[in-house]
Amino acid sequence: MDEELKIRKEKVLKFITNNKNVLIYLVLFLIIALGAFIRVQPFDKLIDSTTGKYISIELDSTVFLRYAEHIAENDVLYNIDKMRNYPVGVFIKDMGIFTSYFVAYTYRLFNLFIPNITVQYVDILYPVLATIIMTLYLFLFVRRVFNYKVALLCCLFINLLPSFLFRSLGGSSDHDILVMMFMVMAFYFYTVALQSKKLRNNILFGAIAGFTTFLSMYSGGAAQFVLLVIGVATLLEILFNKLEDPHFYTYFSWLAVFSIFIQVINLKAGILGHLNTLSTMPAYLAFGVALCHFFIIKRNLFNVNGYIKDKIPRGVTSVLLTFIFGSALFLILFGPNFFIDKFNQVISYVFHFYTSSRWALTVAENRTPYVVDWIGQFSLLYFLFMLLGIVALFYDSTKSLKIRNKLTFLFGLFIFIYVFSRYSPNSVFNGGSTLSRITFYGSIILFFLIIV
């Protein structure tokens, strides 16, 4: 009996070993199916009893449905929405209207195969489709960066988290889930470009990443996160003298394609508008530093290396040179008040809100969260794992440094102080008190002083 069990066990293990990829994609399929099943539950309740047509789940989604209906009938959308701020209307070109185009043309595609399908049904179905596509690319992205186990766990979390479910539920046809879908695609293609050994693939996949970043930005403003992350990551690469030629070509093709598209359609005032925005500025700043590092430092133009003679790290030299010339450029383009305005914006973003307009503050996500909010939404255990994961990632990324343990401890201390400086609105650590500001600024200054 024991021998028979042993033989069966060996057969099962052999089957798993020989069909590992099949089983991985089977688990991924089950995760996607579970996520889709949860998201289609409201469908039978989203029918207007007076017309018999499907309706969106909330007010913002209804606006996108109205735009999609117009596009489906007329091919293009009007520039001024007369139903908002009547009778003057509102210019809507910069308001994430690509979501409505996505719904309208998805409807036209489906209509070729399902003649009786309606644009209203496609509208409530689109968040489910976007979540499926996002999950596929999220799996591919995380698997490239880590491994398939982490990727599957990540996909499971994103499909089941209640706080994310709210913006990806069937009928919630706002632009948020479409922005997320294109953001994940942008990160995936950028990672493929970085990891490629061929120059043409660096440029090709970098360009695709730039195009998907543009689509994400055209869908909604949250896509600024992509520019911020890639820009800051590239700056850190340069500071640690890790920017290789393929990385530069990837970054150039990504930012060039993105910039061309936003300039052509004049999205958010084009390139100048993004240069003047705090959250997108790092992408262009990093490009300036990369240009300086690639041509002036690495190619030793103007014999710069002869002057510094390794007294200053090359990455730091690139940043300093770009800061000097960049400050002069920004002074010419935007005037002296530019620097004061950006400093005040940083203070506002860190300690108050991500935005300050009355209209924007009606969106719950624009309020800077407290620790108690995170714990309430995700549970204490998930919150603690998140903090540990951040520290573990930093530890892994500094494995080539001699002072790895010391840096990781200081980084962990910084993260702890930064996060808990906004513990709750009713405590002394409310993000706005003097003690909160002292601990926050003190942790940043101490961390960077020790690094230097």
For range 353-362, the mean pLDDT = 56
pLDDT at 364 over 70: no
Top pLDDT among 233 and 312 is at: 233
Element (H, E) at 90: strand 90-91
The percent helix, strand, coil of the chain (3-state, each to 5) is 75, 0, 25
Gap between the Cα atoms of 73 and 105, Å rounded: 11
Structural tokens at position 45 = 């309740």
Amino acid at 134: M
Residue in the structure block whose two tokens are 């714990």: 375
pLDDT at 214: 93
Q: Give the confidence band of 266 by pLDDT, cuts at 50, 70, 90.
A: confident
Gap between the Cα atoms of 364 and 5, Å rounded: 57
pLDDT at 402: 76
Q: What is the pTM of this model?
A: 0.84
Top pLDDT among 396 and 227 is at: 227
For range 47-70, the mean pLDDT = 86
pLDDT at 297: 67
For range 324-352, the mean pLDDT = 73
pLDDT, averaged across the chain: 83
Of the given ranges (42-46, 201-205, 277-281), which has the lowest mean pLDDT?
A: 277-281
For range 187-207, the mean pLDDT = 94
What is the sign, positive or negative, of the torsion defined by CA atoms of 35, 47, 79, 85?
A: negative
For range 111-122, the mean pLDDT = 91
pLDDT at 274 over 90: no
Top pLDDT among 244 and 357 is at: 244
Q: Give the confidence band of 309 by pLDDT, cuts at 50, 70, 90.
A: low
pLDDT at 353: 52
Is there a contact between 285 and 231 (Cβ–Cβ < 8 Å)?
Answer: yes
pLDDT at 352 over 60: no
pLDDT at 224 over 60: yes
pLDDT at 206 over 70: yes
Gap between the Cα atoms of 209 and 305, Å rounded: 34
Q: Is the peptide bond before 282 cis (omega within 30 degrees of 0)?
A: no
For range 179-189, the mean pLDDT = 95
For range 305-330, the mean pLDDT = 71
Cα angle, residue 177 at apex, residues 173 and 183 outer, rounded to 5°: 150
Report the share of the chain in percent with pLDDT over 90.
28
Q: Give the confidence band of 184 by pLDDT, cuts at 50, 70, 90.
A: very high
Of the given ranges (77-91, 176-190, 199-213, 349-363), which has the lowest mean pLDDT?
A: 349-363
pLDDT at 303: 60
CA atoms within a 13 Å half-sphere pointing along the CA-CB vector of 451: 17
Q: In sequence order, which residues have a C-beta less than 8 Å from that of residue 227 and are 6 or more positions away?
A: 213, 258, 274, 279, 280, 282, 283
pLDDT at 452 over 70: no
What is the sign, positive or negative, of the torsion defined by CA atoms of 21, 24, 30, 34?
A: negative
Q: Which of 45-59, 185-199, 281-295, 399-413 reaches the highest mean pLDDT?
A: 185-199
Structural tokens at position 160 = 């089941």
pLDDT at 357 over 80: no
Of the given ranges (135-144, 263-272, 440-449), which has the lowest mean pLDDT?
A: 440-449
Question: Using H for helix, E for strand and C for coil, what is the string for 172-227?
Answer: CCCCHHHHHHHHHHHHHHHHHHHHCCCHHHHHHHHHHHHHHHHHHHHHCHHHHHHH
pLDDT at 302: 59
Element (H, E) at 155: helix 148-160
pLDDT at 170 over 80: yes
pLDDT at 363 over 70: no
Q: Give the confidence band of 195 by pLDDT, cuts at 50, 70, 90.
A: very high
Of the candidates 192, 186, 333, 180, the residue with the CA atom closest to the CA atom of residue 258: 186
Q: Give the confidence band of 13 by pLDDT, cuts at 50, 70, 90.
A: low
Element (H, E) at 320: helix 314-334
Task: Characterize 288-298 residue by residue with b for buried, 16 or more Cβ atoms within 10 angstroms of its Cβ, and e for exposed.
Answer: bbbebbbebbb
Cα angle, residue 369 at apex, residues 364 and 370 outer, rounded to 5°: 140
Gap between the Cα atoms of 93 and 96, Å rounded: 7
Q: Give the confidence band of 22 by pLDDT, cuts at 50, 70, 90.
A: confident
Amino acid at 360: A
Of the given ranges (41-50, 294-303, 327-336), which has the lowest mean pLDDT?
A: 294-303
Q: pLDDT digits over 63-87, tens only? A: 888 989 889 888 888 888 888 878 7
Structural tokens at position 318 = 């690139």
Q: In sequence order, which residues have a C-beta less than 8 Å from that of residue 338 and are 6 or more positions away?
A: 276, 330, 331
